[in-house]
Amino acid sequence: MLRLPDAVPLSEFVRLLAGRLARGAANLRIDRLASLESADAASIAFLSSRAYRDKARTTTAGVVVTSAEMADAVPADVALIEVPDPYRAYGLIARQFEAWVNPRSTPSIHPSAVVALSATLGRGVAIGPGAVVGERVRVEGGAIIGAGCIIEDDAVVGAQAELRARVTLGRRCVVGDRSLIHAGTVIGSDGFGFARHQGRWEKIPQLGRVQIGVDVEIGANCTIDRGALDDTVIGDGCKLDNLIQVAHNVQIGEHTAIAACVGIAGSARIGRRCMIGGAAGILGHLDICDDVTISAMSLVSSSITKPGFYSGIFPLMDNADWERAAVVVRKLPDLRARLRRLESTLKEN
């Protein structure tokens, strides 16, 4: 049970959330963020869904944050903060608790780190044990380079960005301001470029970069390949889960979210504000427009030009059979409508 070393008055949470203290003492001390079930009298808990109203009715939390519409589910002896969006409020407080419990690293360069003399380090940079910072690298102010990271020549790490342990940032690649890259991720590995010649594969050098925008978060053990000629680009505000493969020359638009184990083939272009479910596959050289949602395990085999919610799972079969079946499946809605019209005509006759 993780508790703050110093309890915080309820009035501070009201201020942070810009909420309304509907009941309770402003000087009540809170030292823990907890679920409705596990909360105690010194805990703050959140009711963000009607599905949890029954749990709210029996909570022993010191304070519950919820909307005015769900406030009646909170016991009368529990302090209450009302906000328009309880789930967003939970995120705000969770980030604040993280800052209290896990403060950012103190600016320093660990003695075991290797930093090239030509590298430029901004004010307040922290570099952890065993990290390697290459020639002409630029690390902007307040950035954190975790233990065992490798920053190759001419790369750039933006202000207040954080690279967790063992991240590799390839030569000339860029991570934008305030972006967070989790442990084990590799940015700027070679794209899968080979030419087949006389039954053998000849390597095609990958000469582009990876450009990651501002306020991006990339999960653990992802692989973002550098472009063949043009850059691989991940736009501002994108959120990527763990174990995602982004191939060379892929472009991902701003504020798109991608769940774990998605594979995106080379030169695919994904629009802004898209949501891609876990383990989906996106073939190369296609376009997905803005505001598209793709369900988990789907295979995107052709461009999507209209915003919407798309799903598609198909059994494995011989490719020629699959292509013929796919044509039929795509026409099924039209065939169904024609069949209904035919049935209606037969009934009338």
Strands 217-218 and 162-163, how do they pair?
A: unpaired
Helix (H, G, I), strand (E, B) or coil at 126: strand
72 CB-contact burial (10 Å; exposed 0-12 / middle 13-18 / buried 19+): exposed
Which residues on adjacent β-strands are paired with residue 20? 82
> Per-residue DSSP letters for 168-185?
EE-TT-EE-TT-EE-TT-
Indicate the residue type of 31. D
In the block, residue with structure tokens 């798309």? 310
As given in the structure block, the two tokens for residue 294 are 């793709």
Catalytic, 285? Answer no
Indicate the residue type of 164. R
Rounded to 5 degrees, φ, ψ at 310 are -120, 140
In the block, residue with structure tokens 């296609």? 286
Q: What gap in Å lies between CA 69 and CA 115, rounded to an integer?
A: 56
Distance of CA 298 to the CA centre of its chain: 19
From 147, 238, 215, 152, select the one nearest 187 (Cα to Cα).
Answer: 152
CA distances from 50 to 54, 70, 72, 317 (A): 9, 7, 11, 44
Angle between helices 86-101 and 10-17 (to 10 degrees): 120
As given in the structure block, the two tokens for residue 89 are 């409020």
As given in the structure block, the two tokens for residue 148 are 């065992």
Which of 110, 182, 197, 248 is labelled catalytic? 248
Q: Could you list the active site residues? A: 248
